[in-house]
Amino acid sequence: MLLLLPLACSGPGTRDSATEATRPTPLILISIDGFRAEFLDRGLTPTLNALADSGVRARYMRPSFPTLTFPNHYALITGLRPDRNGIVANIMEDGQIPDQRFAASNRQAIENARWWNDATPLWITAKRAGLHSGIMFWPGSEAPVQGSHPDFWSRYDEELEAVTRVDNVLGWLTLPIDQRPSLMTLYLDTIDKTGHHFGPDSVELNAELRIVDAMVRRLVDGLIERGLEHAVNLVIVSDHGMVATSPERVVILDEILPGEAARTISYGVLTGIAPNPGQTHKVEAILLGKHDHMQCWKKSELPARFHYGTHRRVPPILCLANHGWIIASRTWLARKDHFSLGEHGYDNDDPDMRAIFIAHGPAFRSGVVLPPFDNVDVYPLLAYLLGLKAEPNDGNFDMLGGALEPIGVARTNRH
């Protein structure tokens, strides 16, 4: 069931005399999970391509490492890379939260702010400045991060149709001005799900590309119907791409590492390993270095370009599968009822991990193609668009400065 929870709209920091003039142009941040940059070149997404052509697009956007959903969504909305935002993986353990394992399927963990409190999502900064937020799903929004939720949020429900998600966002735009969100998100998950199930080059994935494009069309049409097409800024991103995988390309870890030597935190593309007491030397001797289809490092010795490995939640040893490979155990494989034909989590410099960035609206110039940038660079842009002071972050605003209309045009409401 959809929960739309309007929380109190009054309190410290609230702009009590809200008028159109005192509010920034509403911003809708759309995340299309698993939308690889190359998918835009398939001729299947006319709406996205038209928005890119008449607005701004990046040649591609580099995801943060590891190229997984939770770490990257939190990086986008906080401007901090996973090693600093605390969401270092989709599955995590933390000695300071001893009785809980973080996983997308563990609702208690997802809603426990302790996992998220290392960073400040933009909706919290907006709230402190008296702006409202409407979050149509985003990792982190279900927990009272630093004490509060966004004004409107929903418990993640994968069954909730994309059309309903779009219509909920459109509904927020016509709320009375004193309740209307300035920051909205829209999260679409079907490309990731289909990419995993059938692979990134499947007919099924191509069919889903048309459908997700139609959802963006529905949003744009909804804006036009409401006379808002020049009064809303759209920023469309993805969190990572997708690589084709195969049952022929599996590293069986338990054939290399004896089970009693270490505990595996999670299998998949990036596997975290914690040696059992007294076993560290043995585990390191077996694992560290290059293997035929993966490479393993101590967390302190990861390549610097990953910007990863200092957070206490990062396991002591990490093994990263080569392009198109995955790391598994025999029992983990046997428990799966379907072998995923697409995966992500690879090196964030892998071309198939590249994400998209498209921006359109009164703040943005037309026909601009930006050189590649890191996804943490988006956060200072989002803060700027809302007239908010960005929290300390890993992003570089200058990377996206070329996207904007000259100052003065960018942040005024134009109806």
Catalytic residues: 69
Q: Closest distance between ligand AMP and the C-beta of residue 64, in Å?
A: 13
Crossing angle of the two packed helices 203-225 and 190-198, in degrees rounded to 10: 170
- Minimum distance of Zn ion from residue 260's CB (angstroms): 32
Size of the site for Zn ion (CB under 5 A): 5
The angle at the Cα of 48, spanning 47 to 49, to the nearest 5 degrees, equals 90
Return the range that interacts with Zn ion (CB under 5 A); candidates 56-64, 111-119, 235-243, 251-259. 235-243
159 part of the interface to ligand AMP, by CB under 6 A: no
Q: Cis bond leading into 66, ω under 30°?
A: yes
- Residue 337: partners with Cβ closer than 8 Å, 6 or more residues away: none
* 321: CB partners within 8 A, 6+ apart: 251, 268, 269, 270, 271, 293, 294, 327, 345, 346
What is the smallest separation between the CB atom of 126 and ligand AMP, expressed in angstroms? 19
- Say whether residue 110 binds ligand AMP (CB under 6 A): yes
Place of tokens 């459109």: 170
Does 109 bind ligand AMP (CB under 6 A)? Our answer is no
* Residue among 27, 33, 154, 321 that touches Zn ion (CB under 5 A): 33
Q: Which does 397 bind (CB under 5 to 8 A by kind): Zn ion, ligand AMP, none?
A: none
Residues touching ligand AMP: how many (CB under 6 A)? Answer: 14
> Quick one: tokens of 337?
């009822």
Nearest residue to Zn ion, using CB?
69
Q: Nearer Cβ to Zn ion, position 60 or 364?
A: 60
d(CA 188, CA 165): 8
Query: In terms of CB distance, is 52 or 136 closer to ligand AMP?
Result: 136
Interface with ligand AMP, residue 90, by CB under 6 A: yes
Q: Does 158 bind ligand AMP (CB under 6 A)?
A: yes
What is the b/e burial string over 376-393, where b = at least 16 CB atoms within 10 angstroms of the residue's CB?
A: bbbbbbbbbbbebebbeb
Residues 154-213 that bind Zn ion (CB under 5 A): 192
Tell me if 68 contacts ligand AMP by CB under 6 A.
yes
Neighbours of 259 (CB within 10 A): 12
With binding defined as CB under 5 A, does residue 233 bind Zn ion?
A: no
Which span sits near ligand AMP by CB under 6 A: 161-169, 189-197, 198-206, 332-340? 189-197
Output phi, psi for 346, to 5 deg: -75, 180
Look at strands 326-328 and 250-252 and give their pairing.
parallel
- SS3 state of residue 251: strand
Cα(366)–Cα(56) distance, rounded to whole angstroms? 6
Task: List residues bridging with 58 in a β-sheet.
Answer: 370
239 is an interface residue for Zn ion by CB under 5 A:
yes
| Comparison of 308 and 384: residue with beta carbon closer to ligand AMP | 308
Give the up-direction half-sphere exposure of residue 91: CA atoms within 13 A in the CB hemisphere: 12
Tell me the one-letter amino acid at 83: D
Q: Does 245 bind Zn ion (CB under 5 A)?
A: no
Examine residue 104 and tell whether it contacts ligand AMP (CB under 6 A).
yes
Q: Which of 101, 221, 85 is nearest to 145 (CA)?
A: 85
Instruction: Please select the residue that binds ligand AMP; options are 50, 97, 156, 293, rule is CB under 6 A.
Output: 156
190 near ligand AMP (CB under 6 A): no
Complex with Zn ion: residue 74 or 373, whichever CB lies closer: 74
Counting contacts by CB under 6 A, is residue 397 touching ligand AMP? Answer: no
Q: Are 63 and 355 in contact (CB under 8 A)?
A: yes
139 interacts with ligand AMP by CB under 6 A: yes
Q: How far is the CB of 168 from ligand AMP (least distance, A)?
A: 15
**Both structure tokens of 410:** 């960018």
**What residue ranges bind ligand AMP (CB under 6 A)?**
33, 68-69, 90, 104, 110, 137, 139, 142, 156, 158, 189, 192-193
**What residue ranges bind Zn ion (CB under 5 A)?**
33-34, 69, 192, 239
